[in-house]
Structure 1
Amino acid sequence: MTRRIVRTICQLGALTVFTIVVVYFLDTQFRVLPSAIHNVMPAHHPGLVITDVTVTSCSHVNLFSSCKLDADVWHRVEKDLYLGSGWVSSAYVHIKRKKEEELLADDKVIVDISVGRLDPSTGQKGEEDERWESRPAGLWLKRSSKRHASDSQDAITAVDVLFGADAVDPRDRWSIVGTPLLLDTSGEVQEARLSVRRGKPSGLPKITPRINGNGKFKIMQVADLHLSTGTGHCRDAEPAALSGGKCEADTRTLEFVGRLLDDEKPDLIILSGDQVNGETAPDAQSAIFKYAELFVNRKIPYASIFGNHDDEGSLPRAQQMDLIESLPYSLSRAGPEDIDGVGNYYVEVLAQGSSKHSALTIYLLDTHAYSPDEHSFKGYDWLKKNQIDWFKKTAQGLKKAHEGYTHIHMDLSFIHIPLPEYTDDSLPRKGEWREGVTAPGFNSGFRDALVEEGVVMVSCGHDHANEYCALSRNEAEHPALWMCYAGGAGFGGYGGYGGYHRRIRFFDIDMNEARINTYKRVEYGATDQRIDEQIIVEGGRAAGLQ
C-alpha cells in the first residue's frame, strides 16, 4: 500500500505534490487516518426538524475545492462517504436543521427522502409545494412548506450515514433509504446509505431481566462474531459454501445466530467481545447495528464487552459503548470512569414474579487488548488491579442485598481474553482444546478473586476453536470455579482447526435447584443437537465433572 502511494506521488509531479501538502494543512478533513475516520458521531437533537440535505464532494489535489459548508447553517455528518479510501476525493452529507419553534413561514420541512437517477415523482401527481427537489449523489428531497408538517410523525428529524449492502438500523423510528448514494465507489463495502428518523423517538424501553415464572433462565453467550462493514469475507468456513453459493461472512453468521435465537429463545444475550472485526470494519457503527437488530427485533436484552479487535477500526471503545448504550434492549454500560477499561459493570437478574431481589448477578469486565509491556509479558493484556478491586468491593457490597433472596443466589462472570489458569491442561474438562491458549503472560489474580467472592463460573471467547469448560479447584481439591470457552460464532474470524464448525454456548439456569446446565449448538452438521451438555453448578456450587 505504501509503495503504491509513493509511486502515485512520483507520477503526479512536484507541483501537484506541493498542492496536496498545502491542502492537507489547510483542510485536514480531506484525508483522515483510518483509525480516526469516524471519531465524531453524528449528533441528533430532540425537537429538531430537517429543512435541507445535500452532499458535498472535494478533491485532495484541488486547492479550491472544499467539503465544508457554513457551520452556522449546516451540520456535517462526520463520515467520509468514501470511507477514507478515495485517494482523490472525499464526500460528506450535510443537513440543515432547525428547532420546531424557530421555523419561519418560508421554511420547508423535509417529509421524504429518496435516492435514484430519476425524479421519484415521474408519472405521479402531487401538490405544488411538495415536489421532489434534486441534490448531488442522486439525492431527492420532498419538502413541505406547511408549518404543521413539523408536528407529523412523517417529518424527517434526523439523518445518518451507514455503509454496506446489508446495512440496517435498529433504532426507534429509524429506517434505511433503499438505494445507496450515487457515488463513484467500488465494492459494496463503500455503498453509502442514508438512514433517516421520522418524528420523535418514543424513548428506550426500561429492561429488567427477571427469572421466568417456572424458575428458569437461559443465557446465550455469543463470542467473536467478527462482523465487518458490508457482508464480509468468510475465513476457514466449513463447508466453504452452502448449496453451492458464495460464502458471505456476515450473512452466514447472522443467519446462524438468528436461527438459534428462534430455536432456543434465550432470556439474555452476552456478547463476549470481538463483535466487530476492526480491520474490515471502516464503519464500526454499521457492524454494531447488524447484530443489535437481531436482538431488538426479538425484544431480547443483551449485554456486551469488548475484545481486542473491536476498536481496531473507526471507533474507540468509549464511543462504541456510547452508541451501544443508546440502542433498544441494550444493558451494556461503560462502567466507572476511574478504573481501567470500558465495560466494567454488572447485570442483576431479578427473582421471579414481582420480587425486587436479585437472583443472579453477572459481572462483565474489560480484558483490554495487547500487552502494555511486550518485552516482559508477550501477547495479551491482563485485568488491572483497580478492576479487580472494583469487582471485589462491588461483590462484597451486594452480598447483604442478596441475602433477601429466599433461594440460593448465584454469581457468574464473562470476559473476552482467557485467564492464565486456562492454560493448565491437567484440569478436568469437557469439550475440545484445539489451539494454544492465548492468555496474558502476567497473572494479576482475577481467578482467585472470583473464587474468593463466590463466583461459580467464568466464560470467555478470544480463542475461536477452543470450546471446553475446565474445572479449577481450590487448595482442598474441591470444585471451585468452572472456566468455560464459548467457541467462535463468526465467519469473519479464523476457524481453521480440524474442520471447526462455528458454535454458540448456552447456560440453562434452574434457580429452583441453583443448577446450571451448559451446552453448545453448531452452525453446520448436527444443527439440532446439544453438544457437550454438562451440569457445571449444582446447589449453587461448582459441580464436579460428570
Structure 2
Amino acid sequence: MTRRIVRTALQLALLTSLLFISVWLLDSRYRVLPQTIHNHLPIHHPGLVVTDVVVRTCRFGACAVDPSWSRVDKDLYLGSAWITKAYVDVQRKREQDLTPTDRVVVDVRVGRLNPAASDPPAKDEKWESRQAGLWVKRSARRSDSDSARAVTAVDVLFGADAVDPRPGWEMKDRPLVDGGGAIGPRITIRRGTPAKVEKVVPRVRKDGKFKILQVSDLHLSTGVGVCRDPVPANGKCEADPRTLEFVGRILDTEKPDFVVLSGDQVNGETAPDSQTAILKFAELFISRKIPYATIPGNHDDEGSLTRAASTELLTTLPYSLTEAGPNTIPGVGNYYIQVLAHSGHHAALTLYFLDTHAYSPDEKKYHGYDWIKPEQIRWFKDTARALKADNAKYSHIHLDMAFIHIPLPEYRDGGKLVGERREGVTAPAYNSGFRDALVDVGVPVVSCGHDHANDYCLLSEPDTAGGKKDAAKRAEPDLAEGGEEAVKPKHTRNDKIWMCYAGGSGFGGYGGYGGYVRRVRVFELDAHEARISTWKRVEWGDTERRVDEQVIVDGGRVVG
C-alpha cells in the first residue's frame, strides 16, 4: 500500500513538472498566461525593456525629447561644442505594453561597418543603423522580451579608460563617432533585471588581524587626466592610469581587508562626468572583492554630481559600504561601520565617518574651509553612547577609529610627529571642538586627507591641543536634553589621540613641495592585543618599504 502511494505521488510530481514546463514554454513564445501570472515567472524581467536607441543632435537651442522616450542626460560633447549638443535617447516599454509591431533591442554595437558581417542576425532580427556609428540589433520575437538577451537599460560613460563594473553591465569597446572630442562617449548596456547587491559584513580575520588601506585625494578625471608635479617627471604621464595602477599594486601587495577613501576621489574641475570617475576607482575594489567606504571631500561635488547623487551611486555598487547617513544633520556621509569579531556578532572595531563639508560659509570671519557642525558632533556622541553597551560585550578590548577629509585645527599643533609636514595645514579657522569630542568618546585615532604633501601622524595631548587655547573659537556648549550644559566625564579611556594624514595618492591633484611622492596609509588592527599599527607605501622609490612604521595604540591605549 505504501509503495503504491509513493509511486502515485512521484507520477503526480512528474506530471505537474511536465505541465509547468510545457505551459512556461508556450507562454515564452505565445503569451498564453494572464499577465498577472506571467509576471511571477522566474525568467520575467520586471520593469521595462528597451525597444530602440538613437542619438539626437541639435543646434542653437535646447534638445527636446519625445515624451515616449527617455534621455541619458549627458551631452555627448560634454559642453565642449559651441552650438551643438547630442544625446542618447532610449525608448522603453513595459512588457505587457508591447505591440505586435514593437521590436526588442537585444544588442548594441558601435562602428562604421554593419556588424552583420561578423555577427549575422538570426531570423526575425535585424541590425539597424543609427547616428554617430551606433548600430542596434532588434528582434521581432516576442519571447525575447523575457530572454537573457533583452537590453533593459542604456548609459553613457566617457574616455578611453572608462570602465563599468556594475553587475550585468557591458561597455562597448569603441566610442561613438560624434561627441566628446578626445574624451569619446562610450555606450554601456545592461541586460536583464538589475542585480541585487548584498552588503558585505566586514570581520576580523581568524588570526585576529584586520588591515585597512586609507586612500586619499585620488583626484580622478573624466578621461585619463593630466599629471601634476609627477615624480619622476620624465616621459609621458597620464594621471588616472598611473594613479589607478599605483593603488591596484598596493591592493595586491598589502591585501587589505577594507579600504577607506577619505575624500576628493573626483577632481571636480576635470570631471564633467563624475560617474565615469567614480566607476574607475570602484572597479579596483569590485574586481578584487574588497569592501570599501567613502567620504566626500571639497572637490567631489564640483563635477557633474552633487554630494548626495555621488553617494547614492556609491551605495548601489558591489562591496561599497558607503552610506548617506541621517538627513537630520548637516552633510552627506555621516555614518559608522562595525567590524565584527571573527566569530559572533559583537564588534571588535567601529569606524566613524564624518563629512567635513567644503568651503567656509563665513569667508570674512573664518577664511578658508568649513568645519564639522555641532549637530554632527552630537550625532557622533549619541551614536557612540548607543553602541557602548553592545561593544562592551566583545570578548577583547573594543577599539574605534574616525576618518574625515579636511584636517582639524589641532593638526597645526606641536608635539610628537612621525612623518613629514611639507605644507601648511589648511584646517578650518573655526574650531568646533571635534578633537575633544573624539577624546571624550575614547577614539584613539583620527585620519584625514586634503593636504596632499603632509603624511604625518601627530600625537595630540591635552597640553598641546590648540583647541583649548583659543576660547573665542570654541564650539557652542554641548547641551544635554534639558538645555543644561552636558557634564563631561571626569575620566576617559584616552586623554590623547593620534591625528594622522593619509598623504595624497592621485596624480590629478597637486604634488610638488620638494618632490613629494604619492602615497597611501595602512592601518592594521590586532584585535587580540587591542593594538593598531600604521605605515605608508609610496608610488616611486623604495616601494617595498613600510615607511614610518609605528604602533599607535596598544592594549587599547594611545602609545607614543
**TM exceeding 0.5:** yes
1:375/1:123 CA distance change after superposition, 3 Å = closer
Q: What letter is aligned with 1:530? A: R
Matches within 5 A, 1:353-432: 353=343, 355-424=344-413, 426-432=414-420
* Alignment counterpart, residue 301 of structure 1, candidates 281, 284, 291: 291
**C-alpha distance in structure 2 between counterparts of 1:46 and 1:91, whole Å:** 30
What is aligned with 1:176? 171
Q: What letter is aligned with 1:198? A: R
Alpha-carbon deviations, 1:157-198, whole Å to 9, x = none?
1000111111111111101111111115522x2x11111001
Whether 1:535 aligns to 2:551 is yes
**C-alpha distance in structure 2 between counterparts of 1:123 and 1:170, whole Å:** 26
* Alignment counterpart, residue 490 of structure 1, candidates 490, 503, 506: 506
Query: So what's the TM-score if we normalise by structure 1?
Result: 0.87
Q: What letter is aligned with 1:211? A: V
Shift of 1:452: 0.1
Whether 1:230 aligns to 2:223 is yes
Q: Work out which of the two has the higher radius of gyration on C-alpha atoms and give 1 or 2.
A: 2
**C-alpha distance in structure 1 between counterparts of 2:164 and 2:254, whole Å:** 25
Q: Contact (CA 8 Å) 2:152, 2:191: kept in 1 or not?
A: yes
Alpha-carbon deviations, 1:42-81, whole Å to 9, x = none?
xxx95211010001100016xxxx622321x101111111
Q: Contact (CA 8 Å) 2:199, 2:318: kept in 1 or not?
A: no
Q: Contact (CA 8 Å) 2:78, 2:180: kept in 1 or not?
A: no
Q: What letter is aligned with 1:351? A: A
What is aligned with 1:252? 242
What is aligned with 1:508? 524
Secondary structure, aligned partner of 1:179: strand
**C-alpha distance in structure 2 between counterparts of 1:399 and 1:534, whole Å:** 28
Shift of 1:155: 1.4
* Alignment counterpart, residue 436 of structure 2, candidates 443, 448, 461: 448
**C-alpha distance in structure 1 between counterparts of 2:533 and 2:438, whole Å:** 20
Shift of 1:404: 1.3
1:476/1:131 CA distance change after superposition, 3 Å = closer
Shift of 1:102: 2.5
Whether 1:209 aligns to 2:198 is no
**C-alpha distance in structure 1 between counterparts of 2:390 and 2:365, whole Å:** 42
What is aligned with 1:473? 461
Q: Contact (CA 8 Å) 1:428, 1:470: kept in 2 or not?
A: yes
Root-mean-square deviation over aligned CA pairs: 1.5
**C-alpha distance in structure 2 between counterparts of 1:254 and 1:543, whole Å:** 34
What is aligned with 2:211? 218
Shift of 1:205: 2.0
Q: What letter is aligned with 1:142? A: K
Q: Contact (CA 8 Å) 2:330, 2:373: kept in 1 or not?
A: yes
**C-alpha distance in structure 1 between counterparts of 2:229 and 2:424, whole Å:** 18
Q: What letter is aligned with 2:332? A: V
Shift of 1:475: 5.2
1:476/1:277 CA distance change after superposition, 3 Å = closer
Q: What letter is aligned with 1:437? A: V
**C-alpha distance in structure 2 between counterparts of 1:410 and 1:118, whole Å:** 61
**C-alpha distance in structure 1 between counterparts of 2:148 and 2:553, whole Å:** 51
What is aligned with 1:53? 53
Shift of 1:529: 1.1
Matches within 5 A, 1:7-86: 47-60=47-60, 67-71=63-67, 73-86=68-81
* Alignment counterpart, residue 135 of structure 1, candidates 130, 138, 141: 130
Q: Contact (CA 8 Å) 1:472, 1:482: kept in 2 or not?
A: yes
Q: Contact (CA 8 Å) 1:218, 1:508: kept in 2 or not?
A: yes
Secondary structure, aligned partner of 1:90: strand
Q: Contact (CA 8 Å) 2:104, 2:144: kept in 1 or not?
A: yes
**C-alpha distance in structure 2 between counterparts of 1:126 and 1:215, whole Å:** 56
Secondary structure, aligned partner of 1:178: strand
**C-alpha distance in structure 1 between counterparts of 2:423 and 2:463, whole Å:** 28
Alpha-carbon deviations, 1:214-258, whole Å to 9, x = none?
1100000000000000000000000124xx4x1000000000000
* Alignment counterpart, residue 337 of structure 2, candidates 340, 347, 352: 347
Secondary structure, aligned partner of 1:140: strand
**C-alpha distance in structure 2 between counterparts of 1:279 and 1:185, whole Å:** 16
What is aligned with 1:27? none
**C-alpha distance in structure 1 between counterparts of 2:190 and 2:464, whole Å:** 60
What is aligned with 2:38? none
What is aligned with 1:19? none
**C-alpha distance in structure 1 between counterparts of 2:415 and 2:409, whole Å:** 13
**C-alpha distance in structure 2 between counterparts of 1:292 and 1:147, whole Å:** 37
Q: What letter is aligned with 2:142? A: R
* Alignment counterpart, residue 283 of structure 1, candidates 273, 291, 299: 273
Secondary structure, aligned partner of 2:548: strand
What is aligned with 1:461? 449
Q: What letter is aligned with 2:443? A: V
Q: Which runs of 5+ in 1 are unaligned?
A: 1-44
Shift of 1:85: 1.6
Query: So what's the TM-score if we normalise by structure 2?
Result: 0.85
Alpha-carbon deviations, 1:82-125, whole Å to 9, x = none?
11121110011110111223222322111110011111113664
What is aligned with 1:115? 110
Alpha-carbon deviations, 1:424-451, whole Å to 9, x = none?
1x21010011000000000000000000
Secondary structure, aligned partner of 1:360: strand
Q: Contact (CA 8 Å) 1:471, 1:479: kept in 2 or not?
A: no
Q: What letter is aligned with 2:538? A: V
Number of residue pairs aligned between Structure 1 and Structure 2:
488
Q: What letter is aligned with 1:56? A: R
1:475/1:135 CA distance change after superposition, 3 Å = same
**C-alpha distance in structure 1 between counterparts of 2:443 and 2:387, whole Å:** 13
What is aligned with 2:468? none
Secondary structure, aligned partner of 1:451: helix
Q: Contact (CA 8 Å) 1:153, 1:200: kept in 2 or not?
A: no
